[in-house]
Structure 1
Amino acid sequence: MPRGLLRHGLLVGLAVGMIPICAASAQPIQTHLPFLQNESASYAGNEVAGGLREEKLPTPAIAIGIPTARGAEFGDLFGGVSYQHYLGSGLAQRDDGAAVTGLGLGDARKTVGVEVRYAVYDLVDDPFSEGSLSLKVHRHIYGGLSIAVGVEDMIQYGGWDSKSAYVVASQTLRFKGEMLDRELLTGASATVGVGDGRFNTMERLSNGTNGAGPFGGLSVQLVDRINVMGMWYGQDLSIGLSAVMPGPVSITITPAWVSVLGTHTFGDRVALSVGTSLRLP
């Protein structure tokens, strides 16, 4: 069997194997309506590790609070911190934070890339008391299309008990030629996925059951290194922007307004994350 077919067969098999995990229903979620620390860690991770390999600087995030199919590969190191503030007055704890660091292994074009993330939660109330290890396996298909499977909070400590498995695809386009003014519109990205755990509907999170739920979003690069985004994270809509600030150490800054429709029980909130990445030679 040609090696290319074998690689694609292994990846498809892995994705198919993850679907039953995401499709499991009526399984208890230990933390009903948790403060969304793993979502906060996703803000911190941005997608600073997930730039296309030809990019030499950290890239703006293409998603807010959801995983994408882009990921770190061998030689990629990344890290970030995030903060979110709940705007509703009915919560005793209205602030939340997280920090994340990670690295990449493998080659997503030749075989698969593997992204490993370590997150520390609850930076505001009881710093460093909770944390987890997450894993994403991703494959670059062609052009700007990638697919991935992963598990957030695969290994946990400190009382945090809410794994989330997912399957996701992302497509990134770069606009060229005379079709558009490239100074104003340079690219776009779309992400579509399905996952359990924190991607459940509000009803399932409220009654403690688990099932598969859709998530996804759109991102438009208006000018170089600045993206504007809209995302559905399973219960509500989030909007925001992400920008790369160049310098000796380039950083990606991503402010967001989360749950803008007000369908989440905790109401809407604002979030801010700062992250950076390093690509070793």
Structure 2
Amino acid sequence: MSGDNIFTGLAEEHDGDARWAFGTGFTEALAGVDTTLPEGVDGEELARYCQMLGDDALVQAQRLSQWVTDAPELEEEVALANIALDLLGQARLLLARAGQADGTGRDEDDFAYRRDAAQFRNVRLTAAPRGDFARAITTLLVLSGWRLSLMSRLRESRDPVLAAIAAKAVNELAYHREYAVSWALRLGDGTEYSHERMAEAVAHVWPATGELFATHPVEARMAELGVGVDPATVAGEVHDVLAQVLTTATLGEPGPFPEPAVAGRKGDHGPELAPLLEEMQQVAREHPEASW
């Protein structure tokens, strides 16, 4: 390593790209994967489907990042930050595919920073107010299990890009769920106080779970074409896992998921999404021509 200091030296190792500090690897997100649209698949609909999955990951990553400097222990700050980064990486790939599939050529920055809340298609639970640590763990437990079931099936997608993204995401999401399970057990079967807080968290999060299994028309069509997954088909699997975890954590057998109803997928969000996006988009909107 050469250079006047460690930072210039690291930049040299990354072919002079000083952005190395913002992440690893600035190659084309879809490099090496066949990006041809599958036969019979409408590019705009595939883009909308990728946007749904990408928005889920992006918004959840932003919410989780709020735990940095605020988690119970430094180790948990690092763990939650890494989970957020995994989700951010998934969002980048999915949103890049969306911009490619619909022919607009938009990149992930366009999707992330140049849309208002009503244009996002994430499920509401990804943007739910942060709450306490028990609520964060419960939300992560539900979302990671749900997303893991979806991505496991998406590995067989007829779209080679979605299949590749899903293959990478499965390993990450398995860790996310494992992390959430370990904390759910520790809190639920811990002290009287931690058990109480975890029970309150489950009671708070559970009413929002029905939406995860509501099928938007785009999801239904992508599933029929062998490209996407109908979320309704994973409800039983996800419930079985959650029931096992919550019962083991002495939190009792959960009831059925609430009646599914599409909301966030059609742009119907709660009031918490707009300020979350405002925080995420502030720099990009104030300095639209900036580069780094």
> Please, what TM-score do these two structures have when normalized by structure 2?
0.28
> Please, what TM-score do these two structures have when normalized by structure 1?
0.29
Where is the strand percentage greater, Structure 1 or Structure 2?
1
Q: Tell me which structure has the larger Cα radius of gyration.
A: 2
Where is the helix percentage greater, Structure 1 or Structure 2?
2
